[in-house]
Amino acid sequence: MNLFTSSILLTLFMLTTPIMASSTNFYKSNKYQHYVKNMTLLAFIISLIPTTMFIHTNQETLISNWHWITIHTLKLSLSFKMDYFSLMFMPVALFITWSIMEFSIWYMHSDPNINQFFKYLLIFLITMLILTTANNLFQLFIGWEGVGIMSFLLIGWWFGRSDANTAALQAILYNRIGDIGFLLSMTWFLSNMNTWDLQQIFMLDQNSSNIPLMGLTLAAAGKSAQFGLHPWLPSAMEGPTPVSALLHSSTMVVAGIFLLIRFYPLMENNKPVQTMVLSLGALTTLFTAICALTQNDIKKIIAFSTSSQLGLMMVTIGLNQPHLAFLHICTHAFFKAMLFLCSGSIIHNLNNEQDIRKMGGLYKILPFTTTALITGCLALTGMPFLTGFYSKDLIIEAATSSYTNAWALLLTLIATSLTAIYSTRIISLTLLEQPRFPPLMSINETNPLLINPIKRLLIGSIFAGFILSNNMPPMTTPLMTMPLHLKLTALMMTILGFILAFEINTYSKNLKYPHPSNATNFSTLLGYFPTIMHRLPPHLVLTMSQKLATSMLDLTWTEAILPKTTAYIQLKASLLTSNQKGLIKLYFLSFLITMTLTLLSFNYLE
Amino acid sequence: VSLIHINILIAFTISLTGLLIYRSHLISALLCLEGITLSLFILAALTILNSHFTLASMIPIILLVFAAREAAIGLALLVIISNTYGTDYVQNFNLLQC
């Protein structure tokens, strides 16, 4: 009997306390924000207890407390599964959320609804934790929908701006398409395995698990912005920077990947679905890396970078390495959140300027942000022995030395070098050269509320990879031997990307800006995907439904087929065949005289 | 044969002549049409009841249905004519309008 279950439940309960306090007067005071931040900090510290116990003794727990309902043979209860994945994810998520909350005290300082913002962030965190600790699919779905809703509310935070509302709606729509896949899997599990509990699903050995796994892949594609369902992620940058940092870099978008990781016992026996996930991930990572090359908004570049890394995580799942994907989730969260916080610092200091063509020369002005930005970009590209190295390099190694699809591998490698290219673009356009912003900006980074979160995440970006991979119990046999050229593949691709980017930057930075070529247009307009897909299918579907419902059914079938046709035919026929002059009285009179004469003559002829 | 039959037959003949010879309004023709159907109905009902020909007693009922139908069509035609011409004078019928 140890503190395991108590700590977990305490963590989860502690996070709901500020929400319950929001109905009191305390909610309106200035101290609410610090209260929320401190609660998150305490939750982080307490959640370290079960994690340490897990690392030490590999103790996993299944907490099943409240039996909710039994429908026929389906028993639904409130159950939390604290295993490898959820125990390692909780401290990471809480740490990052704590840093982001401290940052957003500084960033959203002048917002009148700042307390509501913190409440939304907290509700988001709680639903994310529900998602990761869920033991049955119903609870997971509650968390899933919860993060979708909070994403909507937070993206549309500045709801007076029509772009923000459009982006929030777009996020909801794309997530909904993924939810169809999720519901399909839930129904399949319900009808074939009679359960929504993960334990029973993994225990029963089914022959073909194609349908539920494809449904889950669709759900992951919707939530984690894979190709085909990806445009909502760059549009979601309409929300404030803390929202982008929390939702769209670390926690929400990894929910889809997390779902697939949870189902790894099913995935490891199903080769076709693995191949599909691999291809989808490879396509996503390359496509979004291409789109990131020519964007001009710093947040969008980082959003595409997130999308590319999510594709990489999908590739890892497709290689049957769920634990590596999970490691990449945890490490990626650190440096991506830090990149977003640095961009938030730059944006706020330049008076809400987000276009990198109007930034420059911040190298000397914001030294700390510069440090963090460069470190984050290097960690992102997989610089040896920073955080990204421990997960990204392992992924590339596993990819190059496994019996897998060569095309997917090629795409992933190209995307790795593109990562280096757009990282260089960010660094050189925002930090180096001369300033391109208006000169009267008061730029400072002296506020500790800004510095401390970035400092913590910086330390995390440097050391977290090392700490995590040394403390995570290995669940698969790591790859020990490979040829030298395969080992150095990731490094060589990254160095290639850096060299290419620096070369092109150096020789062309003082030339005239050229007219955008076709390739540049393709990349900037996101591959024309939103342009086509947001106009054409809705137009087609709506026109088709209008033609079907109104024109065909209503006007034609119930109105024009019999009644109007009959009337029309009669009219035409009578017009054609009649050559009468309308002398009715004459006709009637002649009829009468004929009748009389006939009757009289027959009477007399008798 | 009997007097009542002849009475009703005379009513029928009067309505028939009224239908075929009318002065100016179309509606009088429709009225006479109603008279024809009414006299036919009474003739049929009386003959059948008199000869206890029970099997054929649905004939008057069917006749009623058709009479109602006829009246409706006639009135519809009247309405259309009055929509296009304004009145129902029969002098209008040889004017070239569709």
ipTM: 0.75
Task: Tell me whether A586 touches chain B (CB under 8 Å).
Answer: no
Calculate how close chain B gets to A577, using CA atoms only, in Å: 13
On the question of pLDDT at A91 being above 80, the answer is yes
The CA-atom distances, in angstroms, between A288 and each of A108, A224, A300, A326 are 30, 13, 11, 21
pLDDT at A26: 80
Cα dihedral A329, A42, A129, A200, rounded to 10, equals: 100
Cβ count within 10 A of residue A570: 10
pLDDT at A282: 92
The 3-class secondary structure across A561-589, one letter per residue, is: HHHHHHHHHHHHHHHHHCCCCCCHHHHHH
Contacts with B, A 546-575, CB within 8 Å: 575
pLDDT at A543: 92
* pLDDT (mean) for A325-351: 89
pLDDT at A539: 92
Neighbouring residues of B87: CB distance < 8 A, sequence distance ≥ 6:
none
Q: Which two tokens stand for residue A445?
A: 């980074």
> Using 50, 70 and 90 to split pLDDT, how confident is the model at A525?
confident
On the question of pLDDT at A583 being above 90, the answer is no
* pLDDT (mean) for A97-121: 90
Note the pLDDT tens digit of each residue in A262-297: 898 888 888 889 999 999 999 999 999 998 888 888
- Determine which of A576, A579, A581, A584 to mutate to test the interface with B (most B C-beta atoms within 10 Å): A584
Q: Which of A35-39, A208-212, A531-535, B85-89 has the highest mean pLDDT?
A: A35-39
Please tell me the least confidently modeled range out of A194-198, A464-468, A579-583, A586-590. A579-583
Please tell me the least confidently modeled range out of A231-240, A320-329, A555-564, B56-65. A555-564
Average pLDDT score, chain A: 87
Q: Which two tokens stand for residue A344?
A: 């938030």
On the question of pLDDT at B97 being above 60, the answer is no
pLDDT at A18: 87
Interface A-B: count of C-beta contacts within 8 A: 25
* CA neighbours closer than 13 Å in the CB half-sphere of residue A93: 33
Task: Tell me whether A592 touches chain B (CB under 8 Å).
Answer: yes
> Using 50, 70 and 90 to split pLDDT, how confident is the model at A43?
very high
* pLDDT (mean) for A204-230: 86
3 state DSSP class of A281: helix
CA Rg, chain B, in Å?
Answer: 17
pLDDT at A285: 92
The CA-atom distances, in angstroms, between A486 and each of A173, A432, A466, A490 are 41, 34, 22, 8
- Report how far residue A318's alpha carbon sits from residue A273's, in angstroms, rounded to the nearest whole number: 8
The pTM assigned to this predicted structure is 0.79
Cβ–Cβ below 8 Å for A588 and B98: no
On chain B, the residues whose CB falls within 8 A of the CB of A595 are 16
Higher pLDDT, A489 or A543: A543
The H or E element spanning position A31 is none
Percent of chain A residues topping a pLDDT of 90: 23
CB pairs under 8 A, 24+ apart, for B26-32? B26/B78, B26/B81, B26/B88, B26/B89, B26/B90, B27/B78, B27/B88, B29/A588, B30/B71, B30/B74, B30/B75, B30/B78
On the question of pLDDT at B70 being above 60, the answer is yes
Q: What is the DSSP string of A322-362?
A: HHHHHHHHHHHHHHHHHHHHHHHHHHHHTTS--BGGG---H
Q: Which two tokens stand for residue A329?
A: 């989730």
> Using 50, 70 and 90 to split pLDDT, how confident is the model at A476?
confident
> Using 50, 70 and 90 to split pLDDT, how confident is the model at A582?
low
Domain ranges, ordered by start, for chain A: 135-512
Phi, psi of A300 (to 5 degrees): -70, -35
> Using 50, 70 and 90 to split pLDDT, how confident is the model at B96?
low
Cβ–Cβ below 8 Å for B17 and A592: yes
Cβ–Cβ below 8 Å for A591 and B20: yes
Query: Is A300:A234 a contact under the CB 8 Å cutoff?
Result: yes
> Using 50, 70 and 90 to split pLDDT, how confident is the model at A574?
confident
Task: Tell me whether A576 touches chain B (CB under 8 Å).
Answer: no
pLDDT at A580: 66
Cβ count within 10 A of residue A479: 15
> Looking at this protein, which amino acid is placed at residue A76?
L
pLDDT at A445: 79
> Using 50, 70 and 90 to split pLDDT, how confident is the model at B98?
low
Cβ–Cβ below 8 Å for A585 and B21: yes
pLDDT at A1: 67
Q: Which two tokens stand for residue A76?
A: 């639904």
* pLDDT (mean) for A419-427: 90
pLDDT at B15: 92
User: Among positive and negative, which fits the CA dihedral A305, A311, A313, A315?
Assistant: negative
Task: Tell me whether A528 touches chain B (CB under 8 Å).
Answer: no
Considering only CB atoms, B20 lies closest to which of A581, A582, A589, namely A589
3 state DSSP class of A474: coil
Cβ–Cβ below 8 Å for A581 and B22: no
